[in-house]
Amino acid sequence: MKILVINCGRSFLKFQLIDSETEAVIAKGLCERIGIEGSKLIYTPTGGEKQEIEEPMEDHKKAVSLVIDALTDKETGVLTSLSEINAVGHRLVHGGEKFASSTLINEEVIAAITECNDLAPLHNPANLIGIRACKELMPDVPQAGVFDTAFHQTMPEEAYLYGIPYEYYEKYRIRRYGFHGTSHSYVSARAAEVLGKKYEDLKIIVCHLGNGASVSAVKNGKCVDTSMGLTPLEGLIMGTRSGDIDPAIIEFLAHKEGRSIDEIMAVLNKKSGVLGLSENVSSDFRDLEDGYNNGDANAIRALKTYCYRVAKYVGSYVAAMNGVDVICFTAGIGENAPLVRNFVCEHLGYLGVELDQEANHKRGEDIAITTPESRTTVMVIPTNEELAIARETVRLAV
């Protein structure tokens, strides 16, 4: 079975074609700058050469048709015809309270996703454009939607409610939803599998540390808490997002700097996080690690503050689950930055965490990075959201 996995943003479309039997990636790529001048398709067939095709893409339909052309190209394509694609799986950002699991997409589902647009005004409309483009070009191919929020729908009320008047939850559904659910679900289940233990018997904390970052608490196979909220701005300090702050700072800064709420929100989303904390050294941890190794005070400050926040969330989720068996690191930083894992784990002595430094410096493996004596197991589990989406798509559509 061949599954096309699509992640559609406002001006980009990422895709992977996955063989569901072998779970191998057959080809992958990215359409950049859709609707903007200078758009291009980057296409990489597995085992073949990467190609960059510059071509105007006025909209996502054009982008999907170029992806299909690339996949079925006589010379460099990996399919003989479009009919070889058995199903399409879409990464969808916000399913609100309507979707606690993935779903097959039909007109009713499209209407329900549209109703969640208020909650994710940048992402959901882009996701819907991707769905419509695929429906037009592949009308007979089943399509599934996998939501970033779905895994977190098992959170209890005490974890998802904010301490604000309840009527705002009733009127506007203001609550914590959480994101990166596909990754938290995949990584926690994979950790149990690698350890040879039953998922339903474990208390697992997943630290998904990428450009966006979130922590989740997974108890007996169900998410009971996560650090992102109504939007991805809450929780950890991220590349450019502030994470948790005193909400009164928004009004305070607006007055002091003479700026609008929208402008302050842009600062919190785009100019904060480790970028802002490091006085603009970088939002990229490779640069921050270099800075740290060269004794740059700005990089050290950003790294230490970042890691302290991660450790605090881990601590709060130990409390939420009344214990923890496994702590997992994943995503760009979680998988690739031993320094970050070291700093976080320095705060976890009370859990009996003893890192194995040799294992902590390995890369690209599902691996425990603690010694056999360590009371709590810490692991690195590379995330694979596309594979998780492909698996869900097969489950629903085939």
How far, CA to CA in Å, does 88 sit from each of 1, 46, 82, 110, 238? 11, 19, 12, 15, 31
For ligand ADP, the binding residue among 65, 72, 211, 342 (CB under 6 A) is 211
Name the residue type at position 311.
A
Verify binding: residue 186, ligand ADP, rule CB under 6 A: no
Question: Measured from the CB of residue 358, what is the shortest distance to ligand ADP in angstroms?
Answer: 18
Question: Measured from the CB of residue 165, what is the shortest distance to ligand ADP in angstroms?
Answer: 33
Residue 114 and residue 226: Cα distance in Å, rounded?
A: 24
CB atoms within 10 A of CB 231: 17
Verify binding: residue 210, ligand ADP, rule CB under 6 A: yes
Residue 108 and residue 85: Cα distance in Å, rounded?
A: 24
Residue 378 and residue 375: Cα distance in Å, rounded?
A: 10
For ligand ADP, the binding residue among 9, 29, 145, 239 (CB under 6 A) is 239
Verify binding: residue 29, ligand ADP, rule CB under 6 A: no
Number of residues that bind ligand ADP (CB under 6 A): 13
Q: Return the number of the residue (286 or 362) whose C-beta is nearest ligand ADP.
A: 286
Residue 69 and residue 280: Cα distance in Å, rounded?
A: 41
Q: Which positions from 256 to 295 touch ligand ADP by CB under 6 A, shown as an x/- string?
A: ----------------------------xxx--x------
Q: Return the number of the residue (186 or 285) whose C-beta is nearest ligand ADP.
A: 285
For ligand ADP, the binding residue among 151, 332, 388, 391 (CB under 6 A) is 332
Q: Return the number of the residue (337 or 394) whose C-beta is nearest ligand ADP.
A: 337
Q: Return the number of the residue (284 or 365) whose C-beta is nearest ligand ADP.
A: 284
* DSSP state string for 300-352: HHHHHHHHHHHHHHHHHHHHHHTS-SEEEEEHHHHHH-HHHHHHHHHT-GGGT
Verify binding: residue 192, ligand ADP, rule CB under 6 A: no
Helices 338-346 and 285-293, packing angle to 10 deg? 70
Verify binding: residue 212, ligand ADP, rule CB under 6 A: yes
Verify binding: residue 84, ligand ADP, rule CB under 6 A: no
Question: Measured from the CB of residue 336, what is the shortest distance to ligand ADP in angstroms?
Answer: 3
Q: Is the distance from CB of 229 to CB of 176 less than 8 angstroms?
A: yes
Q: Return the number of the residue (103 or 240) whose C-beta is nearest ligand ADP.
A: 240
Residue 177 and residue 155: Cα distance in Å, rounded?
A: 9
* N-terminal to C-terminal alpha carbon distance within the chain: 9
**Catalytic-role residue among 59, 73, 148, 366:** 148
- Determine whether 148 is an active site residue: yes
Helix (H, G, I), strand (E, B) or coil at 69: helix
For ligand ADP, the binding residue among 3, 119, 230, 333 (CB under 6 A) is 333
Q: Return the number of the residue (61 or 91) whose C-beta is nearest ligand ADP.
A: 91
Query: With left for phi above 0 and alpha for psi between -120 and 50, is residue 323 left, alpha or beta?
Result: left
How far, CA to CA in Å, does 183 sit from each of 10, 159, 385? 21, 20, 6
Question: Measured from the CB of residue 232, what is the shortest distance to ligand ADP in angstroms?
Answer: 10
Stretch that binds ligand ADP, among 43-51, 122-130, 255-263, 332-340 (CB under 6 A): 332-340
Q: How does 234-272 read in b/e, with b if 16+ C-beta sit within 10 Å?
A: bbbbbbbbbbeeeeeeeeebbeeeeeeeeebeebbbeeb
Question: Measured from the CB of residue 91, what is the shortest distance to ligand ADP in angstroms?
Answer: 11
Verify binding: residue 235, ligand ADP, rule CB under 6 A: no
Q: Which residues bind ligand ADP (CB under 6 A)?
A: 210-212, 239, 284-286, 289, 331-333, 336-337
Which are the catalytic amino acids?
A: 148
